[in-house]
Amino acid sequence: MTTTEDRSQAGERKPAQIVDMSWDPITRIIGNLGIYTKVDFANREVVECHSTSSLFRGYSVFMRGKDPRDAGFITSRICGICGDNHTTCSNYAQQMAYGIKPPPLAEAIVNLGEAAEYMFDHTIFQDNMVFVDFCEAMVKATNPGVLAKAERTEAPGAAVHGYRTIADIMRAFNPFEGEVYKQALKVSRVTREMFCTMEGRHVHPSTLYPGGVGTMPEPTTFTDYLTRLVRVLDFIKQSVAMNDDVFDFFYEALPGYEEVGRRRIMLGCWGAWQDSNFCDYRYESMGDWGRQMFVTPGIVVDGGLVTNNLVDINLGMRILLGSSYYEDWADREPFVTHDPLGNLVDMRHPWNQTTVPVPQKRDLDGGNYSWVMSPRWYDKNADQHLALDTGGGPLARLWSTALNGLVDTPYVKATGHSVQISLPKSEKLPEMTLEWKIPKWSNTLERDRARPYFVAYSAAMAFFFIERAMSMVRAGDMKTFENFDVPDEAIGCGFHEAVRGVLSHHLVIRDKKIANYHPYPPTPWNASPRDSYGTPGPYEDAVQGQPIFEENGPDDFKGVDIMRTVRSFDPCLPCGVHMYLGKGKELTRTHTPTYGASHD
Amino acid sequence: MTMESDMREASQQPASAGERRGFDEIDILWISEGMSCDGDTVSMTASGQPAIEDVVLGLIPGLPKVNLHNKVLSPSEGGEDFLAPFRAAARGELSPFILVIEGSIPNQNIIQGDGYWTSFGNDPDTGEPLTLNWWIDQLAPKAWAVVAAGTCATYGGIHAMAGNPTGSMGLADYLGWDFKSQGALPIVNVPGCPIQPENFMETLTWVLYHAAGSAPPPPLDHMLRPQWLFGKTVHEGCDRAAYYEQGDFGRDYNSPKCQVKVGCWGPVVNCNVPKRGWMSGIGGCPNVGGICIGCTMPGFPDAFMPFMDEPAGGSLSSMLIKPYGAFVRRLRGITNMAVNREPKWHHNRAELTSGYDPNWRS
């Protein structure tokens, strides 16, 4: 069983009243995503969900035969919000293929850039996209009873964020009008300025190269970054407190809300921020330097750590079809039969993938329905193809790091069960240590809660990286780029945490040209359709079976609980897809439950 | 932000500057379902000059009231709520509106059967996906103005690269370079990968002033780019151009010098980023160590690859400038030493040697 068990509670079930509900395109995400559901309004739950993306551009097709050094520039264009994650990951893969290690200062500069990217992206997404689903206007339209309670509920974190009641916080997030909504747009600009000081421009970097960076490591570069970092600290500390208040309130106001978007704990994290003291980009030692990353890689299943070894993570990757618009490549010649350690590489591994698009009619009833493929991680001990998710990114990163207990810096410490994040004094607020503890569930609210904590984590690590960088500069070590030659034949892989989670790039070079290149961003994992084993993708699995708390019936149904779940994964479909709310065409009205209802 | 879909009349009040009547209110229908990464929408939110919220909240005097319909920022949950104004416009029931297209336009004609490269919503009758091409065919002829945001929508961009499977192209390739909107405007192209945030918001603001009747149409060049933004080259605004003049070139990316020998195409690319900075004057490309890869240009990316190689024309011009540059650099070095010295009358001795004469007359 690689999906979440049936959650329908034993007890009184009413005759099902199943209505087709779909949202296409979904708003407040990046890219095209469509969510097609069947909702049982009598029992207030979602009985079926299909996730589809309707956009195909074909990067792995048009990159063939190009100069491998172009890969970071090209793959950045995969995504307009996390493109720099692709450039970074591509450069990691190229550095492995070319056999080079960038100077330590370059690594610090890339880490600072990526820290700013997390701060920017999580802020604009959480406050200007996700939180609109929790704002006063939305809660009034979907759960007026909850809003009335929020007006009467004092906010526990008022001393930090200044809002007296939960409803006051919700009002601050009303789109284009709320105070925090507008402030978040401004903070997303300051953090992008920080990013630009390190990587030139946003979102497609100009100063990142395989072998290092072209960024000028002047003291001014770091002062410009540091002063902006200090200016956004109050906002970051307040965000964590506001989010905690609102999400804790939801659990209390709507008993059972923990079931919304809950799925079995199957999280993947590929690690973030290299430590230049350890990372040499050799495949052979990848397991060791992977564990030294400042976010620890790991696959977490049912609360236990399956592996933190990037070599194992790499070899377990499988790209399945089943519901996607592509021709299979299983009977083609493999590009890579063995990894540099002599391990067998599977035919369904990205190194061996060949992408042949086959545009076709969408068939949501047992046929092909998406341009997204179905990446899975093969757990050899359990002999299962796990549909891992990333929890939107932050949940898996914090979970893996906490459980591994390896990160130990003056600003961030992993304890085995939590992550402690220390932020210095800022203009309004004192020095604070925030602690993210491993939650009870992998669900919608915990995915959303993890996001502001990871902004704090990124800010804290940014202080660490800037201290490293400035001490190198003060010591006169100004080198930022290492020269290299492109080999005739080579392979490489890059592992990085994009904002939304796991990101890998697999590269094969023949005759100094790209013979094969496959980027796997987080969204293909999360937004994937049913695979050849029939296992649904994480959005589908998380939405399917979830209860509905919205007070509206089929005629004015907004689907807010479903949308909260989908958005909790921070969908980004250029990286991987399209929500259409039909006027609720009623499918069946039966007296026996038809979909997945286990009733006694 | 409102979602009104009713027909509106043009304002009866003559505009302050011109004779043409302007609009009091206009919808922006933004479709990013081209071959896109949504990077132009994201980039647009980075602009503070003006900021998108300044425009949506009506803080810029003289602009019409703007109803923005953009997927990333829409307060709606999506689906039909979000599609309503697009559907109304397609039926001819929403006017005036500005159509913004983000992403290149795939060639739907190369697909046999019912497949699609990209779609935006479904046909309400059949439930089948509606292609981007269908929407453009419906909306472009009814739009008061058509704006292409980003190099993909303007000229095809990265997704129209050699070897691509989708047959992608720019909006003018699809609609025709002589296309005129209902407002008698050609397509307004704002290239860039992504758009420089302020370039886009400034162009949109000009178009909105024009919609209000208080500005002439934006001046565009032969590739339909705003002239005041794309009329100069990267090199003409690059603060490393002085290294070039002195024949002093960076040999790798550690160098603060001119990057033309390590891949910069700035001398031949129309773009203002080094002069303007990426946002709020911060960041950029060759001015901060990032080679110009020509991402605003119709020839992007194929004409510029491999990006990290020296441009073909760069070797000749950099060779020609070498003797002059080396000579001038030497002379400037000598002068620089001279001007790095203070005049000899700057001292703390008990005498004044500045040449001061209380009785001096010319």
Helix (H, G, I), strand (E, B) or coil at A408: strand
Q: How far apart are CA A528 and CA A318, in angstroms?
A: 13
B308: confidence class by pLDDT, cuts 50, 70, 90: very high
Tell whether B56 lies on the interface with A, counting CB pairs under 8 A: yes
Of residues B51, B278, B291, nearest to A196 (C-beta): B278
Q: What integer pLDDT is reported at residue B88 of this predicted model? A: 98
Tell me the pLDDT tens digit for each residue of A41-69. Answer: 999 999 999 999 889 999 999 999 999 99
- What are the structural domains of chain B? 3-229 (3.40.50.700), 235-304 (4.10.480.10)
A450 φ, ψ to 5°? -65, -25
Tell whether A30 lies on the interface with B, counting CB pairs under 8 A: yes
Strand duo A17-23 + A34-40: pairing: antiparallel
Q: Is B342 exposed, middle or buried (0-12, 13-18, 19+ CB in 10 A)?
A: exposed
Q: What integer pLDDT is reported at residue A581 of this predicted model? A: 34
A252: pLDDT strictly greater than 70: yes
Chain A nearest-CA residue for B287: A200
Q: Which of the two residues, A196 and A589, has the higher pLDDT score?
A: A196
Over range B60-79, report the average pLDDT: 95
Q: How far apart are CA B50 and CA B205, in angstroms?
A: 8
A4: pLDDT strictly greater than 80: no
Find, among A472, A482, A503, the residue nearest to A213 by Cα.
Answer: A482
Over range A413-420, report the average pLDDT: 98
Q: How many residues are given for chain A?
A: 600
Mean pLDDT taken over chain B: 93
Q: What angle do CA A97, A483, A192 make, to 5 degrees?
A: 85
Q: What integer pLDDT is reported at residue B231 of this predicted model? A: 98
Over range A419-436, report the average pLDDT: 98
Cβ contact B285:B274 at 8 Å: yes
Q: Which of the two residues, B315 and A529, has the higher pLDDT score?
A: A529
Mean pLDDT taken over chain A: 94
Q: Is A259 exposed, middle or buried (0-12, 13-18, 19+ CB in 10 A)?
A: middle
- What proportion of chain B, given as a percentage, has pLDDT over 70? 94
Tell me the pLDDT tens digit for each residue of A187-212. Answer: 999 999 999 999 999 999 999 999 99
Strand duo A490-498 + A326-327: pairing: unpaired
Q: What angle do CA A273, A279, A281 make, to 5 degrees?
A: 105
Q: How far apart are CA B226 and CA B217, in angstroms?
A: 10
Q: Is A177 exposed, middle or buried (0-12, 13-18, 19+ CB in 10 A)?
A: middle
B77: pLDDT strictly greater than 80: yes
Q: How far apart are CA A294 and CA A465, in angstroms?
A: 10
CB contact under 8 Å between A362 and B41, yes or no, is: no
A587 φ, ψ to 5°? -85, -60
A592: pLDDT strictly greater than 80: no
Q: Which residues contact A367 (CB under 8 A, 6 or more apart)?
A: A323
Tell me the pLDDT tens digit for each residue of B280-292. Answer: 999 999 999 999 9
Q: How many residues are given for chain B?
A: 362
Residues of B in contact with A580 (CB under 8 A): 78-80, 83, 121-122
Tell me the pLDDT tens digit for each residue of B217-268. Answer: 999 999 999 999 999 999 999 999 999 999 999 999 999 999 999 999 999 9
Residues of B in contact with A203 (CB under 8 A): 39, 42-43, 194
Tell whether A220 lies on the interface with B, counting CB pairs under 8 A: no
A584: pLDDT strictly greater than 50: no
What does CATH list as the number for A56-575?
1.10.645.10
Tell whether B40 lies on the interface with A, counting CB pairs under 8 A: yes
Tell whether A32 lies on the interface with B, counting CB pairs under 8 A: yes
Find, among A334, A93, A66, A388, the residue nearest to A211 by Cα.
Answer: A93
Chain B nearest-CA residue for A563: B77
Over range A328-353, report the average pLDDT: 98
Q: How far apart are CA A466 and CA A457, in angstroms?
A: 14
B126: pLDDT strictly greater than 80: yes
Residue ranges of B 207-236 with Cβ closer than 8 A to chain A:
none
Tell me the pLDDT tens digit for each residue of A17-36. Answer: 999 999 999 999 998 899 99
Tell me the pLDDT tens digit for each residue of A365-402. Answer: 999 999 999 999 999 999 999 999 999 999 999 999 99
Q: How far apart are CA A270 and CA A277, in angstroms?
A: 19
Over range A401-416, report the average pLDDT: 98
Tell me the pLDDT tens digit for each residue of B196-210. Answer: 999 999 999 999 999
Tell me the pLDDT tens digit for each residue of A62-105. Answer: 999 999 999 999 999 999 999 999 999 999 999 999 999 999 99
Which is it for the CA torsion A57, B68, A163, A154, positive or negative?
Answer: negative
Q: What integer pLDDT is reported at residue A576 of this predicted model? A: 58
Q: Which amino acid is at A195?
A: F
Residues of B in contact with A558 (CB under 8 A): 77
Tell whether B133 lies on the interface with A, counting CB pairs under 8 A: no
Whole-prediction pTM value?
A: 0.94
Q: How far apart are CA A442 and CA A355, in angstroms?
A: 32
Cβ contact A467:A461 at 8 Å: no
CB contact under 8 Å between A483 and B252, yes or no, is: yes
Q: How far apart are CA A192 and CA B76, in angstroms?
A: 26
Of residues A25, A197, A581, nearest to B283 (C-beta): A197
Q: What integer pLDDT is reported at residue A536 of this predicted model? A: 97
CB contact under 8 Å between A176 and B1, yes or no, is: yes
Q: What integer pLDDT is reported at residue A2 of this predicted model? A: 58
A589: pLDDT strictly greater than 90: no
CB contact under 8 Å between A358 and B290, yes or no, is: no
Cα→Cα distances A276→A102, A221, A279, A281, A406, Å: 8, 20, 5, 10, 16
Cβ contact A130:A215 at 8 Å: no
Q: Which two tokens stand for residue B183?
A: 């407002």
Tell me the pLDDT tens digit for each residue of A435-478. Answer: 999 999 999 999 999 999 999 999 999 999 999 999 999 999 99
The one-character DSSP state at A519 is: E
Beta strands, E only, A192-262: 208-209, 212-213
Q: What integer pLDDT is reported at residue A109 of this predicted model? A: 98
Tell me the pLDDT tens digit for each residue of B49-68. Answer: 999 999 999 999 999 999 99
Residues of B in contact with A193 (CB under 8 A): 279-280, 282-283
Within 13 A of A462's CA, how many CA atoms are on the CB side?
31
Tell whether A584 lies on the interface with B, counting CB pairs under 8 A: no
Q: Which residues contact A339 (CB under 8 A, 6 or more apart)?
A: A283, A311, A314, A315, A345
Q: Is A378 exposed, middle or buried (0-12, 13-18, 19+ CB in 10 A)?
A: middle
Torsion over CA of A55, A61, A66 and A68, rounded to 10 degrees?
Answer: 80
Parse chain A into domains and list their residue ranges.
Answer: 56-575
Q: Which two tokens stand for residue A201?
A: 């421009």
Of residues B36, B76, B278, nearest to A574 (C-beta): B36
Nearest chain A Cα distance for residue B278, angstroms = 6
Q: How far apart are CA A538 and CA A576, in angstroms?
A: 13
